[in-house]
Structure 1
Amino acid sequence: MSHTLQMIAAFAAMLFAGAALYVNVAEHPARMALETRSAAQQWAPSYKRATLMQAPLALLSLPSGATAWLLGANILWLAAALLIGSVMPYTLLVVMPVNHRIPEPDRDLSSVETRELLQKWARLHGVRTALSLFASVIDVWQLGGNGVT
C-alpha cells in the first residue's frame, strides 16, 4: 500500500511540475511576445484550464505522500508532500490577488500596468514551479531506493 501511495504522490507531483515548468519556459514567454491586450486575453482562459488540471494533482500528491509517511515511509515523503501541498495556500494567498487584478472589468488590457501584472504573475508562478520541482526531485530520489518501504 505504501509503495502505491508513493508512486501516486510522485506521479502527481511530476505532472504538476512538468505543467508548471512548461508554463514558465514556453507558454508564458510566448504569450508575452504578444501585445499586452492579446497576452492578457489569452492568459485568463489558459489559467482557468491549467487550474483544472494542476489543483487536483496537488490535492492528490499531498495526501498520498503524507499517508505513505504515516504508513512508515521515509520522512522525506512527508517533506515532498508538504512542498507540493504548499502550492495551494501560496496560490490562494499570494498569486490569487494578482489573478483577480488582471481581468478587472475596468482594466485597460493594453496598459503598462497590465503588462507588469502579467510579468509579476510569471514570477509568482515560478515559485509554484520551484516548489513542485523540489517535491518531484525528492519523490523520485526516494523511489530510487532511498526511502521506499
Structure 2
Amino acid sequence: MSITSTSILNHFDTIAVVTGGLFAGTALYLSIGQVPAMREFGLNEHWRFFPYMYKKIALTQASLAVIAGTTSIVHATRIHGAPFFRNLWIAAGTTFLAIIPYTIICLAPTNQTIIDDNKNVKLGNESHINFAKKKELLDKWAFLHFVRTASSVAGFGMMVYGLSRHSSFVFTW
C-alpha cells in the first residue's frame, strides 16, 4: 500500500470523531434547542418551518452519519491486539450507520406527512391535518429524533474514548 493511502488510513479515527461529533452536535442542537424554541412560536409556525429545516439539514446529516460510521469501522479493521478497542470502534461505527435505516423506517413517514401537507397548503389547498394531529406528529418526530440524538451522542462518546486510548493500538497495513 502506498504511503499516501496509509497516511489517509492513519487518520480515519480522526475523521470518524470529527464527523460523528458534527452529527451528534447538530442532532443535539435540534433536540434541545431548535425544536423547543419552535414550539414556543406556536404549533402552526413550527409545522410550516419543518420542511425548511428538513431540506437544509437532511443531506448533511446523512452524509455525516455514513462518513462517521464507515471510517470508524475501517479504522477498527486496522486494530490488532486490542479486541476491546477494535469492537468499540465497530460498535461506534455501526451505531452511526444504523441511523440511516432508522431514519428511513421510523422518521421518514412522519417527515413526509408533514412535508406533503405543507406542499399542499402552498398550492393553495387547505391542510388535511387538524391541529391535534399536527401536534401529535411533531411530538412523535421530536421523540424519534431524540432517540437518534441519544444514539449519535453514545456513538460519538465511544469514538472519543477510543481516540483517547489511541497509543495502545497496534495498527497494520
What's the TM-score once normalised by structure 2's chain length?
0.80
CA apart distance, 1:11: 0.9
Deviation at 1:118, TM superposition (A): 0.6
Q: Which sits farther off after the overlay, 7-16 or 30-39?
A: 30-39
How far off its partner does 1:107 sit?
A: 3.3
Partner of 2:83: none
3-state secondary structure, aligned to 2:38: helix
Report the number of matched residues: 149
Q: Which amino acid aligns with 1:76?
A: L
**TM-score of the pair, normalised by structure 1:** 0.92
Deviation, 1:72, is 2.0
- Which of residues 21, 37, 56 is equivalent to 1:14? 21
CA distance in 2, matches of 1:107, 1:55: 29
Q: Tell me which residue corresponds to 1:84.
A: 96
Runs of 4+, deviation exceeding 2 Å: 103-110, 146-149
Name the structure 1 match of 2:123. none
Gaps (5+ residues) in structure 2?
Answer: 1-5, 81-85, 121-125
> Which has the larger Rg?
2
Q: Deviations over 1:13-69 (max 9, x none)?
A: 111000000001110001111222111111111012111221110111111011111
Matched, 1:127 2:147: yes
Amino acid at match of 1:35: G
1:36·1:109 contact (CA, 8 Å) conserved in 2? no
- Structure 1: runs of 5+ lacking an equivalent: none
1:55 alignment partner, one of 40, 49, 62: 62
Match of 2:38 among 11, 31, 34: 31
The residue that corresponds to 1:138 in the other structure is 158
Identity, % of aligned pairs? 29
